């Protein structure tokens, strides 16, 4: 694992220790979960690309823009208006400049399903704020992945299990997750290669064909142009998680719409 990821995990462990497990969080999971599967199905039926657009203030190497909660809401509404099927909100504060408040504000102000994007290493993180989906990274959770998938589902959260290679994929397929995210970024080197989706998506489809299951495949990272979108859909992705190229744009609405309508 790349040293930057190691530092993020260390930071997350310190953050977890500061989370207060109080009654404030006791009933957040009673909120109705918005159906990402139906949103993706409807988009595909309408011949538009199911884009999960991400509110991403920064990456570990680059700061994009300051995004306080009200700005996050404004950005999310532009993405929603442009046809995104869901909104991903980064909540990791130190390296991605995200926040739980951004997640809360966005979830309260839009109608789309909302994904919490963070480094989840402790179940208590699932009780900080409500979301419809939660990212679980296979390479980080390892043998605990199945436990975390089950815990998320018991709380009414839809886990999006992120994998990068065949071993992680096999681990993910042993869980009850309905959604598998294929990360085109190698977390050991941080290099991006869109071919990762072309290698893993067919394996998921083969597994589904042999086992009577139906996983949703989400391709993540390195998606900037309509050509990238077309390639990944051709490789077998059902939806695309797109952050950097949208958030860097001077026109969030137009860039989101351009990617959503890439197949038209």
Q: What is the pTM of this model?
A: 0.94
Parallel, antiparallel, or unpaired: how do β-strands 114-117 and 86-90 relate? Answer: parallel
Packing angle, helices 100-109 and 69-81, rounded to 10 = 40
Residue 21 has pLDDT above 90, yes or no: no
**Catalytic residue (choose from 77, 104, 117, 255):** 117
Q: Encoding tokens for residue 44? A: 């595909």
Angle between helices 195-211 and 166-173 (to 10 degrees): 30
Burial class (CB in 10 A: 0-12, 13-18, 19+), 12: buried
In CATH, the number for domain 48-260 is 3.20.20.70
Catalytic member of 80, 128, 158, 162: 162
Looking at the DSSP bridge assignments, the partners of residue 180 are: 161, 217
Annotated active-site residue 155? The verdict is: no
54 is catalytic: yes
DSSP letter, residue 144? G
Write phi, then psi, for 83 (nearest 5 degrees): 110, 10
Active-site residue, from 221, 245, 255, 257: 221
220 is catalytic: yes
Scanning the chain, the segments in alpha helix (DSSP H) are 3-18, 36-45, 69-81, 100-109, 138-141, 145-154, 166-173, 195-211, 226-235, 244-247, 252-260
170 annotated active-site: no
pLDDT in tens, 143-201: 999 999 999 999 999 999 999 999 999 999 999 999 999 999 987 788 999 999 999 99
Whether 158 is catalytic = no
Please tell me which residue in 99, 139, 171, 183 is annotated as part of the active site.
183
For residue range 27-37, what is the model confidence (pLDDT) as tens digits?
566 678 899 99
Catalytic residue among 77, 158, 220, 255: 220
């Amino acid at each position: 694992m790349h040293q930057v990821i190691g530092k993020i995990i260390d930071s997350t462990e310190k953050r977890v220790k500061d989370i207060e497990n109080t009654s404030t969080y006791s009933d957040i999971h009673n909120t109705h979960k918005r159906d990402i599967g139906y949103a993706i199905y409807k988009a595909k039926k309408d011949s538009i690309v199911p884009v999960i657009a991400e509110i991403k203030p920064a990456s570990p190497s680059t700061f994009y823009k300051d995004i306080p909660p009200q700005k996050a809401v404004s950005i999310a509404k532009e993405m929603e208006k442009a046809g995104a099927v869901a909104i991903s909100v980064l909540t990791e504060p130190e390296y991605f400049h995200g926040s739980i408040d951004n997640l809360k504000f966005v979830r309260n102000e839009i109608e789309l399903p909302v994904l919490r994007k963070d480094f989840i290493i402790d179940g208590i993180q699932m009780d900080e704020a409500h979301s419809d989906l939660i990212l679980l990274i296979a390479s980080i959770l390892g043998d605990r992945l199945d436990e975390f998938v089950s815990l998320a589902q018991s709380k009414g959260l839809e886990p999006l299990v992120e994998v990068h290679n065949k071993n992680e994929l096999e681990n993910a397929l042993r869980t009850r997750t309905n959604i598998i995210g294929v990360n085109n970024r190698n977390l050991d080197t941080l290099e991006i290669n869109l071919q990762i989706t072309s290698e893993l998506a067919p394996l998921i489809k083969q597994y589904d064909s042999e086992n009577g299951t139906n996983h949703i495949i989400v391709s993540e990272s390195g998606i900037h142009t309509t050509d990238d979108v077309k390639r990944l859909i051709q490789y077998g992705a059902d939806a695309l998680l797109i952050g950097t190229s949208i958030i860097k744009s001077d026109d969030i609405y137009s860039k989101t719409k351009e990617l959503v309508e890439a197949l038209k």
